[in-house]
Structure 1
């Protein structure tokens, strides 16, 4: 399944690059897509004795750009006979320049090694989180020393069975399409995960004569609603990739009760998952809620690679360049 036409790889100097760039090249080849690799250097501000924007600071910026360009050429050297690369060196704040590059050139996927800062336990650093929140296209953050082929992929889907929002369904279709395509190309196990809960069931004693039976009935009724929603998504996936491909994949379905921010990281750890494909946009319409609290809590706990997807029509809060 061809998913991408125009890929952007973001160089991350703080961590190993070899396996991440190899996977980006493989993805570009499989999709017959263009691959551009970029690096972002900070703006060189005038120091003591250096005039702002003067020849010294300009020369320093030019020297850094030349050095980084040579570094990128060395990184892609093993693959230049297989693929034509674009190379771009930008100046500014990394996440802002990456988002502006996406807006300017219509990239449909950003690939980046996770920052993996060594002073905290979480895998994703500041630039990673800004991109997860604000990048208008999907972003694939890869852990250091990425596997050449994934063994287990989780597609985490979310929906409200009482609502049938087209945006929500479209987001789930993107998650399922990307995760199934990667699972097929890597011969990986695909796990479909949906977490549900009934917090109000605990208050059955306030109104029911038989609280225990009322609570059980309420929980079962909600479970069946979520199961029906999951069955609908499974049918959509089968139609999306063909019945034969679905039969070959035979995804494992996990319909789990509890809190998503606890259940999903625990399942990922238990299954030793290599990649989680998930949505990152909150279901609220409140301005500023670019990423849901639940999604952010899940991301903070993951130690595997993540492919984060936003619904069609998502608009980045980073304004386009005029």
Structure 2
């Protein structure tokens, strides 16, 4: 239970409630070995850059003063969060006008295992509302990204991993294994039940016009049979009971949302191919549609070997 021992939390500056920090402590307090949490925040005020009457040194001193004030405030905030003896929290505030760049630069500067960030929620629809920073992090972070809401962690609940068993692409197959492994890990940590979900496409209506002799029922049965067979192989590989796997026809985003709602899942695990970030998620489906329908925490994983476009060692 010591997979995530070095956690980077993207904090919310000037706010006492820190949902991402709370979730990080939920994870760290369940480990049996020492864990480190870095509460990372950015601050920026364009007016400081426009103070032409001040010298560069004076502007730097003003920025440092602001940063020091923010650090002091966050130290007061974390005092209200319960910590175990083997969990340490470090506060880091940097002056930067692009939070996602600062966060990813911090990831490259240290060996973090996971990035945790709170995301917004629509009050009426109770769905996630992603900010530009969220999307940049989901697309470009080289480590797992956990986006959290304020509802409780799913103790004795359900965890859902969205797999794509119909693909023979090595990157997708590797992601399937990675997502199932994460689902099992968090299920053990949270004493919860892991579930796998897979969606397969409907028969295109236009195909009946283009190919009058086409047998739609036979085609549909063949597609469903293939996905069920591949799901069986995956669940047997990890010892997951059949009743904890779900294979349905329909758009990926709708299937995941319906199963998540049916299970009242506390965590959904998604995989990204990494080539173009989340635009390549689920092989042709739109990530934005999928994520905006979910009501719970979301863990996004990249395949092994993913190279972030912001990697300082990456040569394009």
Task: Give the distance between the partners of 1:265 and 1:52, measured in 2 at CA.
Answer: 55
The answer to whether the Cα contact below 8 Å between 2:11 and 2:18 also exists between their aligned partners in 1 is: no
Q: What RMSD over aligned residues (CA atoms) do the two structures have, in Å?
A: 3.0
Change (3 A) 1:224 1:262: same
Task: Give the distance between the partners of 2:149 and 2:11, measured in 1 at CA.
Answer: 13
Change (3 A) 1:13 1:130: same
Change (3 A) 1:234 1:184: same
Which structure shows the bigger proportion of residues in helix conformation?
1
Query: Structure 1 residue aligned with 2:147, among 141, 149, 153?
Result: 141
Change (3 A) 1:100 1:182: same
The answer to whether the Cα contact below 8 Å between 1:16 and 1:144 also exists between their aligned partners in 2 is: no
- Matching residue of 2:71: 69
The answer to whether the Cα contact below 8 Å between 1:15 and 1:116 also exists between their aligned partners in 2 is: no
Question: Following TM superposition, by how much is the alpha carbon of 1:264 offset from its aligned partner in structure 2, in angstroms?
Answer: 1.6
- Matching residue of 1:172: 176
Change (3 A) 1:143 1:291: farther
Query: Structure 2 residue aligned with 1:300, among 292, 304, 313?
Result: 292
Question: Following TM superposition, by how much is the alpha carbon of 1:279 offset from its aligned partner in structure 2, in angstroms?
Answer: 0.9
Structure 1 segments of 4 or more deviating over 6 A? 117-121
Question: Following TM superposition, by how much is the alpha carbon of 1:142 offset from its aligned partner in structure 2, in angstroms?
Answer: 0.5
- What stretches of structure 1 of length at least 5 have no aligned partner? 239-245
Question: Following TM superposition, by how much is the alpha carbon of 1:110 offset from its aligned partner in structure 2, in angstroms?
Answer: 0.3
- What stretches of structure 2 of length at least 5 have no aligned partner? none
- Matching residue of 2:195: 191
Residues 224-262 of structure 1 show CA distances to partners (whole Å, capped at 9, x for unaligned) of 111121112212323xxxxxxx56xx7621101011122
- Matching residue of 2:130: 124
- Matching residue of 1:152: 158
- Matching residue of 1:23: 23
Change (3 A) 1:15 1:235: farther
Task: Give the distance between the partners of 2:313 and 2:15, measured in 1 at CA.
Answer: 30
Larger mean CA deviation between 104-113 and 185-194 belongs to 185-194
Query: Structure 2 residue aligned with 1:36, among 9, 25, 38?
Result: 38
Task: Give the distance between the partners of 1:39 and 1:21, measured in 2 at CA.
Answer: 12
The question of 1:97 aligning with 2:102 is answered yes
Task: Give the distance between the partners of 2:24 and 2:7, measured in 1 at CA.
Answer: 8
The question of 1:260 aligning with 2:252 is answered yes
Residues 183-234 of structure 1 show CA distances to partners (whole Å, capped at 9, x for unaligned) of 222222322100001434752454354x5xx111111111111112111221
Question: Following TM superposition, by how much is the alpha carbon of 1:309 offset from its aligned partner in structure 2, in angstroms?
Answer: 0.6
Change (3 A) 1:100 1:119: farther
Task: Give the distance between the partners of 1:14 and 1:150, measured in 2 at CA.
Answer: 34
Task: Give the distance between the partners of 2:55 and 2:203, measured in 1 at CA.
Answer: 59
Task: Give the distance between the partners of 2:112 and 2:130, measured in 1 at CA.
Answer: 22
Question: Following TM superposition, by how much is the alpha carbon of 1:154 offset from its aligned partner in structure 2, in angstroms?
Answer: 1.3
Change (3 A) 1:104 1:194: same
Q: TM-score, normalised by structure 2?
A: 0.83
Change (3 A) 1:144 1:106: same
Q: TM-score, normalised by structure 1?
A: 0.82
- Matching residue of 2:306: 314
- Matching residue of 1:237: 238
Larger mean CA deviation between 216-225 and 77-86 belongs to 77-86
Change (3 A) 1:72 1:218: same
Question: Following TM superposition, by how much is the alpha carbon of 1:166 offset from its aligned partner in structure 2, in angstroms?
Answer: 2.9
Task: Give the distance between the partners of 2:106 and 2:15, measured in 1 at CA.
Answer: 22
Question: Following TM superposition, by how much is the alpha carbon of 1:63 offset from its aligned partner in structure 2, in angstroms?
Answer: 2.2
Task: Give the distance between the partners of 2:121 and 2:205, measured in 1 at CA.
Answer: 40
The answer to whether the Cα contact below 8 Å between 1:137 and 1:309 also exists between their aligned partners in 2 is: yes
